[in-house]
Structure formats: C-alpha cells, structure tokens
C-alpha cells in the first residue's frame, strides 16, 4: 500500500510523517528533479509505504513544490492520500483539500492540532464535515503522537465518488470537458485544469486541440458571465463552498479574542522590535552554547577526556606493545591530537543544535524567515533564501541543496553563493578556539561571527543584485506562520541527533583522514637533502612549513602571514574543522596542560586580537569545505558558475578580513600605512557598489513590461 502525505506547509505534515515512520525513512530525489523526497515504511506495518510530498498550498503550477506533488500523484497513482490540515486554520487549508478531492483518490483528512484546539475550546463537527466533503475525517495531534484510528481508517477506505460542489454553471462546463476525456484517469481534476488552460497539464496529458478549443469556448462564456478569468472564477467558487462548509462545522467559543500566538506575534514580528528581538535571541543562543553551558561541557571533554584519560591510556598501551616510534607519533600526535582538538567542541555543537531545534519546534524560526524577508527583499533576496541559510547552521551542504525549491534561477544562484556565509557547525570550533585563545572566552565573539555572516549575505545581495546576471524582480515568498507550541522532547532530540550525527560522522571519516595527512606533512621533510621523519624542534623543515612559507605572503595584509596559519587555512578547505585540527597537531594538543594553556598560549603569541579576528572572519566567509563546494557544483550544474561562486566567496572574505585587520590596527594601535590606504580604497569601492543604481538597459522589455 502506497500512501501520499499531502498538506500545507507548517500543518504538521513532517511531524506526522516522523510519527508514522519512526526511523524507517530514506531520502532520495524526485525523478527528473533534484529536490529531496522523503519516504518511509509505516512502523506498524512494513508493507505500507508513506511518501512525504512537499508542503504546498494548491495543486496549481505556481511553484516547483506544487508541480512535484501534482506530478507524483498523477504519475504514481498512490493507493490513498492522507490530507493533513491545520484544524486551527481550517478554512485556509481546505482550498488544497478540495483540489485533492477532485482527484478521486481514496482520502482521509487528518485534522491536526487537536490539542491546540482543545486548549482554545474550539471544536470541529467531523461527522458534518465528512458529509459535506464526502471523505473520512479524523482528529489527530501529530505532536503528541495521538494518531487515534488514522491508519485503521485508511485501510477501510473506498474510492472516492466524484463530487460536484461548485456552482451549477461551472459544474456543467467541467462535465462537458470531462465527457471528452476518454481513457483518462482523474477526469474531473484534468477537466478543471484544461478549463483553466493549465499548460503543464495540457502538455502532460496530451490534450487534443478540439478539447482545448471547447474548453476555451466554455471559459470565455463563463468569463463574460462573471466578468473575470476562468481560474479566478473557479477559485472563488471553491472558497464559496469552503465558507459554507466551515460555517456549519467550526465552533469557536471565543472567536472574538486573540490567540496567544497572535499576541506574541504582535511583539516578535513588530516592525520595530522584530530585529532587536532576533539579535537578542541569537546572541543568547550562542552565549549559552559557546560561552557558558557549552564551555563547561567542552572544558571537561578537552581537559579530562582528551587530556587526562585518552592520551595517557593510548600512550601506555602503545608502550606496552612496543609500538614503533613513527606509528606511536601518528596515533598520539596525529589521530588523537587532531580528533581530540575537534571532538572537544562536540558538546558546544550539540547544545547549539538543541537550542536551534527548540526555536524551530516552538514556531519562532518561521517568524525569523518572515522577519528576514522584510530585510532581504530590500537587498535583492526573498525570505525564501533565508530557509537554506537557516538549514546551513547545521551543515552547508543541505543548506545549499535547500536552494533547489527557489524557482527564480537568479535568486537560486545568489542564494547558493551566499548561504555558506552563515557559520555552520564545522565553523563553531574555529569560533570557540578564537574566542578562548584571544578574547578570554568573551561572550560577544560567537554572536558577532553569526551576524557577520548575515551582514555578508545582505551586502552581497545588494552588490550582486545590481549586476547583469542577477538583475530582476525578487521572487515572491509565501509562508504559513504556525501557532506557537511547546516543543516535544522527541522532536528536539531527533533534530539534534540528525545534525549532530552528521558532524560526528564527518569527524570519523573526512577529518580522520585529514589528521593523518596533516600529521604526515608536519612530521616529515627534507633536512640536508634527506627526506625523513622530523622531531619536534625540526617542524620548521616540514613539508607543511615549506608549502606554508611559499604562499604565506598572500595573508600578510590580513595579519596572519605565518606558515602555520596558512597551512591551517588551506586544510580548512578540505573540512573547516581542520583549521583547529591543524593547530592541535602543530602545537601538540594531546600533550596540553589541564587548562589548555600550552595550546592556546602558543597560538595567542602568534597573533594580536585584531589579526585573530581577521583570521576568524576570513575562514568564516571564504570558500566552504570540499563537500560544500561539490554541492555548489551539483546545484549550479555549471563549472563556470561554480568557479565564480568560490572566487567571489574568497575575494569577499579577503576584502573583509583585510579591512578588519587594517582598520583595527589603526584604531587600536594607531598604525596607518600603505595597506591601510588599500583598505580605504576597498571600503570606498564596496560603498560605491552598494549605492550605485543598476543599469536600466540590462533589463529586456517585452510588451511594455520589464522581464
């Protein structure tokens, strides 16, 4: 049995999908479309497959998600449909429901948010609703996993009978076209779409010219009668029916009073207060995860687990088995030191993920996208571009992949180029290391890094949107704001585990291999024409030092022109965590004292606070890791665009880091030289690019309208 899950965004569809499938899920791509699909086996019966269709508002071809959902239903013909609707917003949700009913596929309507409705003292007469719609209706609470007899109802479903619920004249037109559609499935649905002159359905179903001509004739007659286009007429008649239905079955005892969500939204989405509240919330998130609770957990892992327990135990074991010196060095100074340097930050990362999951589950993250849409729209991006950036806080790869649902190609490419400016989990160890080594664990370092990424996205959006490849109108953004609710422990832990496991898995594969490479290039080199393993005092002759010194001049204007920083930055291109891993291996993190003073103290002696923050800024904003660059290549599907994206990221990062270092040196130390003048020129050029007007002739004019 194959069941499709259909519903509006934020109706609880994903929560229901997770509740039904548990861990029996797998992710792939929709056939012919590089957009992720989720499917899974029902945990109570592995013979039942559940397909989670993208959240949509209708089955009209207005967005990629709607086209995907519609094509899946028409092509795959699922055995049944679960139409999940938000019981607190029933009228709005029923528009999609009427279109799904038109398909004639056996369907059960899962009316979600039963727990919220109970708190509001609201009721839905499901028996009356079933009679009006002609489908089975079940009240559920997906969040509380109260699914009642949903699956039992599904098993007993029968094919839906064709239901005429629009006005008589519109129904006559539908029947007229439907009678001409011989040997077609979903006749009523296709007839309506042919009347609406839906080009994708006409092409997909190979509708004959005679039928198209008849549909246009009927549409013209209805258009003259109602003085409107046929699509608007049918939409209006749907809502007439929906209003009649909800008027009979929806009982709100306190309909005049504002909901708690409305009262909260008056504050958190207020035009004046929204942004300061967002800044405060994200500052608090990073303060808890990096500076306070996260630091306490990380200190234990670093000082005790990877300081007093694992290294001595491993060293004792290696000594007992008479391990050869080079292998002992590889294990202790390479693998243990490298992985220890990065795994020590796992507690901070997990706490960050827990806090982000809480914000997502309670409904606040949807508000952030709404808030950022106001800002982004002024700078050439829509709130839809913020969704990939939100996902990118976990990992840049799924963040880049999430740009697939942005229909406008220009906006999609710009989103891909800027998404990785937001600090991902791989960059959190860099932030924590810089904050601890140079700023005594100051609370402001982590949130400033986050907002530096947001500022980079906004500045890039303004600059790029005025260039010819990105010129054009901003894509529209529609998003359902769910009611606030208390997050469930299961949902928070699931989200944290998915993100956290991805990080730990990378540490066990890519970073593990990287530690071996970093150990090799820092422990081997040429001395006196002989290539051999070096001791601690000979690290200046290593392969890493030789390569680093050869290209370190590039980073001198940024304030970190030594070979160690150069090699660490280069290794960060493989995986961002490698910057910390490299320093851990170079400075012997596995042998650091309990307070980590040997590692951070030695590191701090190579930088000033200004140059350290420039190092942080460059590594946050420059080209992402190899995996993310690969994702950019797949999504761009063009080598030139991939090079342009990586080149822009590196150039922008270099400019920002140079300005931070040069202006910081001037303000803090009074240093003003040629490089400071270069920074001034870069700043003036950036201001010019921000303020200049786009060239009007870059837009093509078609029929008097700009395209």
Using one digit for the tens of pLDDT, what is the confidence trace for 305-329?
777 788 888 888 888 888 888 888 7
Q: Tell me what the pLDDT averaged over the chain comes to.
A: 81
The confidence score (pLDDT) of residue 483 equals: 74
Which of 109-123, 128-142, 417-431, 494-508 is least confident?
494-508
Q: Could you read off the pLDDT of 453-478 as tens digits, one per residue?
A: 989 988 888 888 888 888 776 666 66
Q: What percent of the chain has pLDDT over 90?
A: 16
Can you give the pTM of this predicted structure? 0.69
61-75, 234-248, 507-521, 639-653: range with highest mean pLDDT: 639-653
**For range 481-502, the mean pLDDT:** 78
Q: Look at 299 and 697; give whichever has higher pLDDT.
A: 299
Residue 614 scores a pLDDT above 90: yes
Residue 189 scores a pLDDT above 60: yes
The confidence score (pLDDT) of residue 160 equals: 67
Residue 166 scores a pLDDT above 50: yes
Alpha carbons 331 and 340: distance in angstroms, whole number: 11
**For range 60-89, the mean pLDDT:** 84
Phi, psi of 137 (to 5 degrees): -125, 135
Q: Could you read off the pLDDT of 170-186 as tens digits, one per residue?
A: 999 999 998 898 878 88
Residue 223 scores a pLDDT above 80: yes
Q: Look at 365 and 240; give whichever has higher pLDDT.
A: 240
**For range 337-364, the mean pLDDT:** 79
Phi, psi of 441 (to 5 degrees): 70, 30
149: its two tokens:
């007899």
The confidence score (pLDDT) of residue 601 equals: 66
Q: Please, which contacts does 671-678 make with residues 24 or more away whose CB atoms are closer than 8 Å?
A: 675/557, 678/557
**For range 401-405, the mean pLDDT:** 72
Residue 596 scores a pLDDT above 70: no
Instruction: Mention every residue, 6+ apart, whose C-beta is less than 8 A from residue 555.
Output: 561, 565, 566, 569, 618
**For range 23-33, the mean pLDDT:** 54
332: its two tokens:
């202790």
Place of tokens 């590039």: 554
The confidence score (pLDDT) of residue 92 equals: 83
Residue 267 scores a pLDDT above 80: yes
The confidence score (pLDDT) of residue 617 equals: 94
**Where does the pLDDT of residue 641 fall: very low under 50, low under 70, confident under 90, or very high at 90 and above?**
very high
**For range 631-644, the mean pLDDT:** 87
Superfamily name and number for 2-155: P-loop containing nucleotide triphosphate hydrolases (3.40.50.300)
**For range 438-449, the mean pLDDT:** 88
Cα–Cα distances (Å) from 523 to 218, 316, 330, 531, 534, in that order, read 81, 22, 9, 11, 5
The confidence score (pLDDT) of residue 385 equals: 72
The confidence score (pLDDT) of residue 593 equals: 31
The confidence score (pLDDT) of residue 622 equals: 92
The confidence score (pLDDT) of residue 258 equals: 63
Domain boundaries, the chain: 2-155, 275-691
DSSP string, 87-138: GGGHHHHHHHHHHHHHHT--EEEEEE-HHHHHHTTEEE-HHHHHHHHSSEEE
**Where does the pLDDT of residue 16 fall: very low under 50, low under 70, confident under 90, or very high at 90 and above?**
confident
């Amino acid at each position: 049995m194959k069941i499709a899950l259909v519903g509006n965004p934020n109706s609880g569809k994903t929560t229901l999908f997770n509740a039904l499938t548990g861990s029996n899920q797998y992710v792939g791509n929709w056939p012919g479309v590089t957009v992720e699909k989720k499917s899974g086996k029902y945990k109570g019966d592995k013979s039942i497959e559940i397909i989670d269709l993208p959240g949509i508002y209708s089955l009209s071809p207005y967005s990629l998600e709607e086209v995907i959902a519609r094509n899946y239903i028409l092509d795959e013909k699922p055995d049944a449909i679960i139409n999940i609707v938000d019981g607190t917003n029933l009228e709005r949700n029923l528009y999609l429901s009427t279109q799904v009913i038109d398909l004639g596929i056996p369907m059960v309507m899962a009316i979600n948010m039963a727990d919220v409705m109970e708190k509001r003292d609201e009721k839905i007469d499901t028996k009356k609703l079933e009679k009006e719609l002609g489908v089975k209706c079940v009240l559920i609470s997906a969040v509380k996993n109260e699914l009642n007899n949903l699956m039992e109802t599904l098993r007993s479903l029968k094919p839906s009978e064709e239901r005429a619920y629009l006005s008589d004249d519109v129904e006559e037109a539908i029947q007229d076209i439907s009678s001409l559609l011989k040997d077609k499935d979903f006749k009523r649905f296709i007839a309506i779409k042919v009347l609406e002159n839906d080009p994708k359905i006409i092409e997909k179903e190979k509708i004959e010219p005679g039928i198209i001509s008849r549909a246009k004739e009927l549409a013209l007659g209805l258009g003259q009668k109602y003085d409107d286009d046929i699509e608007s007429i049918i939409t209006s008649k749907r809502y007439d029916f929906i209003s009649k239905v909800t008027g009979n079955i929806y009982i709100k005892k306190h309909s005049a009073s504002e909901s708690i969500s409305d009262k909260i939204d008056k504050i958190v989405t207020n035009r004046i207060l929204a942004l300061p509240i967002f800044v405060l919330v994200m500052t608090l998130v990073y303060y808890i995860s990096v500076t306070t609770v996260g630091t306490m957990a990380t200190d234990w892992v670093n000082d005790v687990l990877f300081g007093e327990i694992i290294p001595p135990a491993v060293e004792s074991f290696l000594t007992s088995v008479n391990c050869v010196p080079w292998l002992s060095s590889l294990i202790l100074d390479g693998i243990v030191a490298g992985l220890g340097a990065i795994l020590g930050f796992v507690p901070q990362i997990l706490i960050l993920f827990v806090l982000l999951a809480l914000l997502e589950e309670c409904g606040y993250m949807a508000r952030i996208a709404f808030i950022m849409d106001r800002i982004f729209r002024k700078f050439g991006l829509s709130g839809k571009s913020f969704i990939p950036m939100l996902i990118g806080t976990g990992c840049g790869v799924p963040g880049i992949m999430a740009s697939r649902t942005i229909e406008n190609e220009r906006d999609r490419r710009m989103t891909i180029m800027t998404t990785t400016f937001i600090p991902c989990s791989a960059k959190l160890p860099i932030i924590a290391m810089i904050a601890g080594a140079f700023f005594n664990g100051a609370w402001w370092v982590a949130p400033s890094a986050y907002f530096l990424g947001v500022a980079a996205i906004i500045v890039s959006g303004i600059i790029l949107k005025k260039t010819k490849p990105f010129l054009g109108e901003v894509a529209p953004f529609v998003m359902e704001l769910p009611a606030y609710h208390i997050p469930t422990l299961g949902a928070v832990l699931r989200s944290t585990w998915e993100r956290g496991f991805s990080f730990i898995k990378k540490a066990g594969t890519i970073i593990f291999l990287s530690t071996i490479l970093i150990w090799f290039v820092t422990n081997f080199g040429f001395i006196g024409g002989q290539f051999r393993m070096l001791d601690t005092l000979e690290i200046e002759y290593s392969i890493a030092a030789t390569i680093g010194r050869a290209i370190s001049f590039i980073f001198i204007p940024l304030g970190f022109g030594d070979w160690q920083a150069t090699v660490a930055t280069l290794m960060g291109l493989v995986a961002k965590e490698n910057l910390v891993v490299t320093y851990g291996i170079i400075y012997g993190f596995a042998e650091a004292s309990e307070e980590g003073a040997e590692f951070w103290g030695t590191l701090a002696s190579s930088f000033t606070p200004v140059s350290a923050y420039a190092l942080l800024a460059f590594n946050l904003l420059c080209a992402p890791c190899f995996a993310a660059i690969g994702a950019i290549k797949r999504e761009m599907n063009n080598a030139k665009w991939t090079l342009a994206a990586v080149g822009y990221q590196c150039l922008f990062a270099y400019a920002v880091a140079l300005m931070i270092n040069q202006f910081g040196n001037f303000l803090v130390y009074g240093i003003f030289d040629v490089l400071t003048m270069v920074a001034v020129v870069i700043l003036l050029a950036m201001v010019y690019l921000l303020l200049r007007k786009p060239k009007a002739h870059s837009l093509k004019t078609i029929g008097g309208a700009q395209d």
